[in-house]
């Protein structure tokens, strides 16, 4: 509502909120962001105006006369392990390397990554509580995407080491900037301590991708890559959904059905195998 609907329709009186105005606004959202976001905005606005009808502020809900935008599902890009290593090697000396590393090893959404503070880092866990949004050129911290978005994400020792090194480098940058540093608590900032813009992060992300062969992936695809790697490690859907903030494990199963196929095939075992000793998981991973 704050990010997409209010900037386009928020200044209109209810009496001026016609189907044509709404259709135009939703079309702009579809062009600027995505058809899915446009349709989600339509549903949100329709729910609000249904309440307005109940309160007799308007006679009918104008959204009912507005068509949904056709959605063509965009295929997620999943890199090979070699392509992941290539990108991280290429970005090794860049100040955004820790951000890319954490995106791939945690599956945290880009807006949530940019909202993280050092207080959110507690030992070997990260508390994901906010999402960094930009409205009318102004940054603000909003709630996470869903109620499940507020979560605790465990990080491995290598990721913790990368973040600790980043913290030391950031402290050196802060010494140079001094009191002008605007966001002292945030893990990821610009070189002068301001919020990072997702578009600028994406430009750097693509620049390092273009240095290597392979398909170009969105920053959000780092999340898909992480989830696919977890499935490859044979983690169950409930554990994965809890880690990445999916509202329901069933959603994880639907979205990544192809990745779970190997596990489905592995479930077809003989009776002797079912009744036999449980194989050592470490030895399986090493094969």
Q: Is 254 part of a structural domain of the chain?
A: no
Residue that terminates a domain, selected from 210, 225, 240: 225
Q: What is the pLDDT of residues 166-196, one digit of tens each?
A: 999 999 999 999 999 999 999 999 999 999 9
Same domain, 94 and 28: no
Region 103-132 average pLDDT: 94
Region 21-49 average pLDDT: 89
Same domain, 59 and 87: no
pLDDT at position 284 is 46
Same domain, 10 and 118: no
pLDDT at position 90 is 92
What is the band of 74 on the pLDDT scale with cuts at 50, 70, 90? low
Q: Is 46 part of a structural domain of the chain?
A: yes
Same domain, 137 and 197: yes
Which residue is it, tokens 């919020």?
195
Region 95-117 average pLDDT: 94
- What domain range includes position 54? 5-65
Of the chain, the percentage scoring pLDDT greater than 90 comes to 49
Same domain, 104 and 11: no
Residue that terminates a domain, selected from 170, 194, 225: 225
User: Dmax of the chain from CA atoms?
Assistant: 72
Of the chain, the percentage scoring pLDDT greater than 70 comes to 87
Same domain, 17 and 98: no
Residue 99 above 60 pLDDT? yes
Same domain, 159 and 218: yes
CB 68 within 8 A of CB 39: yes
Q: Is 73 part of a structural domain of the chain?
A: no
Same domain, 53 and 131: no
pLDDT at position 229 is 86
Q: Is 203 part of a structural domain of the chain?
A: yes
Rounded CA separation 141/133 (Å):
6
Q: Is 256 part of a structural domain of the chain?
A: no
State the chain's mean pLDDT as an integer.
86
Q: Strand, helix or coil at 213?
A: coil
pLDDT at position 210 is 86
pLDDT at position 150 is 83
Same domain, 61 and 22: yes
The residues facing 143 across adjacent strands are: 130
CATH number at residue 160: 1.10.443.10
Q: Which residues contact 255 (CB under 8 A, 6 or more apart)?
A: none
Same domain, 151 and 97: yes
Q: Is 100 part of a structural domain of the chain?
A: yes
Q: What is the pLDDT of residues 205-252, one digit of tens each?
A: 989 988 877 777 888 888 888 888 888 888 888 988 889 888 788 878
Residue 4 above 70 pLDDT? yes
Rounded CA separation 164/267 (Å):
41
Rounded CA separation 256/9 (Å):
36
Q: Is 103 part of a structural domain of the chain?
A: yes
Residue that terminates a domain, selected from 225, 260, 278: 225
Same domain, 38 and 115: no
Of 19-23, 28-32, 160-164, 271-275, the one with minimum mean pLDDT is: 271-275
Same domain, 197 and 87: yes
* Number of C-beta neighbours around residue 152 at 10 A: 13
Split into its structural domains, the chain has a count of 2
Both structure tokens of 190: 């610009």
Q: Is 262 part of a structural domain of the chain?
A: no
């Amino acid at each position: 509502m704050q990010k997409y609907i209010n900037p386009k329709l928020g200044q209109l009186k209810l009496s001026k909120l016609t189907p044509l105005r709404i259709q135009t606004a939703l079309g702009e959202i579809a062009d600027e962001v995505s058809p899915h976001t446009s349709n989600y905005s339509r549903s949100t606005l329709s729910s609000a105006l249904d309440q307005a009808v109940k309160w007799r502020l308007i006679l009918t809900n104008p959204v009912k006369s507005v068509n949904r935008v056709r959605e063509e599902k965009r295929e997620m890009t999943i890199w090979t392990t070699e392509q992941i290593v290539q990108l991280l090697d290429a970005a090794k000396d860049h100040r955004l390397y820790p951000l890319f590393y954490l995106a791939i090893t945690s599956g945290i959404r880009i807006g949530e990554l940019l909202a993280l503070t050092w207080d959110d880092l507690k030992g070997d866990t990260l508390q994901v509580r906010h999402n960094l949004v930009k409205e009318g050129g102004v940054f603000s911290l909003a709630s996470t995407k869903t109620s499940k978005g507020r979560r605790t994400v465990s990080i491995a020792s290598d990721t913790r080491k990368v973040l600790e090194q980043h913290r030391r480098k950031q402290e050196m940058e802060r010494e140079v900037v001094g009191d002008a540093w605007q966001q002292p608590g945030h893990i990821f900032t610009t070189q002068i301590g301001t919020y990072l813009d997702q578009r600028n992060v994406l430009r750097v992300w693509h620049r390092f991708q273009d240095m290597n062969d392979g398909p170009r992936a969105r920053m959000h695809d780092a999340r898909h890559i992480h989830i696919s790697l977890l499935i490859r490690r044979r983690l169950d859907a409930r554990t994965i959904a809890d880690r990445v903030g999916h509202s329901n494990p069933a959603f994880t199963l639907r979205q990544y059905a192809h990745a779970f196929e190997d596990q489905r095939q592995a479930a077809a075992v003989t009776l002797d195998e079912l009744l036999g000793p449980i194989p050592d998981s470490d030895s399986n991973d090493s094969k």
